[in-house]
Structure 1
Amino acid sequence: MKSKIPDNVVFSEDKGYNASLLPYSTNVGAPVIKMDDVVSWKSRGINNVNKEFENKFNELKEQYESLMIEYKWNELVYNAKFSFEPVIGEIYHLYSNNDGTNVLSLIAPNEWNKEHIGTFKLNSEKKWVRILY
């Protein structure tokens, strides 16, 4: 009959007492080995990063749309007919003629019976900024 070895003793028939060689604790009083929940940590990290990317994408999208609107207004004003050199800081009004062309003028909408498209101001960068009039 073989001698019975207690359960809390690490003994292997092949290797004998090898508790000091094992990568895990073998003593009853040793701390609990607990696996970290890496999957949930990764999931939370991915969600946070995706939200940050989505917010940044939405900001860039809004900036792009705003830039495209500015570009279209500038294209419209620069393609309009005018026979003077606009002064920076001065307010100008854009009108539509009956033939479909646009005209830039200093005349205010309440002083002229034409279809008013918009009011603009030329800034120091030579960009037309639409203003409410």
Structure 2
Amino acid sequence: MVQAYNFLASWQLFPEKGTYELGDRPRSGIYKIEAIENERLLAISMNWVTLENHAFESHYTILPDAQEHHFDNPEVAETIKATFIDGITFETVFYRDHQQVLYILHEIMPNGYLRVTQQGITPQLKPYTNIEFYHKQMSVLPYSASVSGAVIKPTEEGVIRHKALTAMEEQTNMQLEQIRKQIELLALQAQEIQKRKELSLLIYGAKLNFTPVIGQTYYVYEKADGSHLLSLVSPKEWGGGAGPYKRFVAMVKLLADHTWMEMQ
């Protein structure tokens, strides 16, 4: 099931990013999509915890062949049809009496997040739209049940396990975020060193009529023939221009490690 590849994962809910016109905003949740029965079917399971710490779970299966199939809970729908629009989008439609009662659109966003849009009808026969955002995560909650059946409230043990897993997710995500920031800082430092190296190579290839002093500020000019020159004379002293040279390149300072840094 090539088109399903991007969706096969456990996804962790961003509760603060979603919009809910029906139902309460959850505090946390897991959305899992996996292939079963020789990858013919997709199993979709959902686990979430409300702000009051009530844990719920549901699941259903789909055959994404763009055909209507019998649905096993007539209280929700009689038939279901799932269609892959492309490798990053698929939709599921639930029908009762040949009328659409629920539409779910799954989309992989450019940033890698999963957006799930649900459109249906409230018990008061008013249309609603719920939109949720998820990101891929490593751990999987040990729940499974059915959205095609009644919502199930688990045992106290299940709630305790979910709270522990949620705390673990928060801690590991915080640690991973710290590591990510450290990596970004190291990347910035590496870019700065690379920039100083390139500037140093240019200067050491330039014409030097004196011995540079560590900590002193100098000025780099490009000559008409494309070569470079290190000078003590600033553009201001040339009247704001490059003087006899083609152009002013940079104001630089020699550091203690004998690399050159561009001054702003």
1:65 equivalent to 2:191? Answer: yes
- Structure 2 residue corresponding to 1:99, chosen from 217, 221, 225: 225
Deviations 1:33-84 (A, max 9, x none): 9533232233223322221221111111111112211222112111111132
Q: Which has the larger radius of gyration?
A: 1
The structure where helix makes up a greater share of residues is 1
Q: 1:59 to 1:106 in 2, by over 3 A?
A: same
**Is the 8 Å Cα contact of residues 251 and 262 (structure 2) preserved in structure 1?**
yes
1:87 equivalent to 2:213? Answer: yes
> Could you tell me how far apart the structure 1 residues matched to 2:189 and 2:231 are?
30
TM-score, structure 1 length as denominator? 0.63
Stretch deviating more after TM superposition (93-102 or 69-78)? 69-78
> Could you tell me how far apart the structure 1 residues matched to 2:217 and 2:233 are?
10
Deviations 1:11-53 (A, max 9, x none): xxxxxxxxxxxxxxxxxxxxxx953323223322332222122
Aligned Cα root-mean-square deviation (Å): 2.1
Q: Which residue of 1 aligns with 2:177?
A: 51
Q: 1:85 to 1:56 in 2, by over 3 A?
A: same
Percent of aligned pairs sharing the same letter: 23
Q: 1:51 to 1:90 in 2, by over 3 A?
A: closer
Question: For 2:218, what is the secondary structure of its paired residue?
Answer: strand
> Could you tell me how far apart the structure 2 residues matched to 1:51 and 1:89 are?
37
Q: 1:51 to 1:107 in 2, by over 3 A?
A: same
**Is the 8 Å Cα contact of residues 197 and 260 (structure 2) preserved in structure 1?**
no
Q: CA deviation at 1:124?
A: 3.3
List gaps (5 residues or longer) in structure 1: 1-32
Question: For 1:81, what is the secondary structure of its paired residue?
Answer: coil
Q: Which residue of 2 aligns with 1:121?
A: 253
The structure where strand makes up a greater share of residues is 2
AA matched with 2:195: I
How many pairs align? 100
